[in-house]
Structure 1
Amino acid sequence: MAKFGIFAIATTLLLLELLAVATHADLEANFYAKSCPKAEKIVQDYVYKHIPNAPSLAAALIRMHFHDCFVRGCDASVLLNTTASTGNQTERVAIPNQTLRGFGFIDGVKALLEAECPGVVSCADVIALVARDSVVATGGPFWNVPTGRRDGVISNASEALAQIPAPTSNFTTLQTDFANKGLDLKDLVLLSGAHTIGISHCTSFDTRLYNFTGVGDQDPALDSEYAANLKANKCKFINSTVIVEMDPGSFRTFDLSYYKLVLKRRGLFQSDAALLTDSRTKSFITQILDGSLNNFYQEFASSMEKMGRVGVKTGSVGEIRTHCAVVNS
Structure 2
Amino acid sequence: MTRRSGLPRNNLLVLLCTLLYTSYHSPIGLTLRDSTSSSFAFAAAQATDPQTCKDGDQTCAADKAEKCHVETKDNCSEKELEYIQKMTIKSSEERQSQISRLNELLTRDEQNLNSALIPWIKERLHILYSLEGMPEDSNDTVVEDSTFAKSDEQPSNAETIRTNSNNERLITIDELAQHTTEENQIWLSILGKVYDVTTGISFYGPNSGSYKFYAGRDASPCFTTGKNNPEGAAEALEEWEGKKLMSVTEWSQFYEKHETYKFLGVLAGSKYYDEEGEEKEVRRIILDKAAEAKVQADKEKEEKKKARLEKKKREKEEREKKKKKA
Q: TM-score, with normalisation over the residues of structure 1? A: 0.28
Q: Which has the higher contact order (CA 8 A, sep 6+)?
A: 1
Q: TM-score, with normalisation over the residues of structure 2? A: 0.29
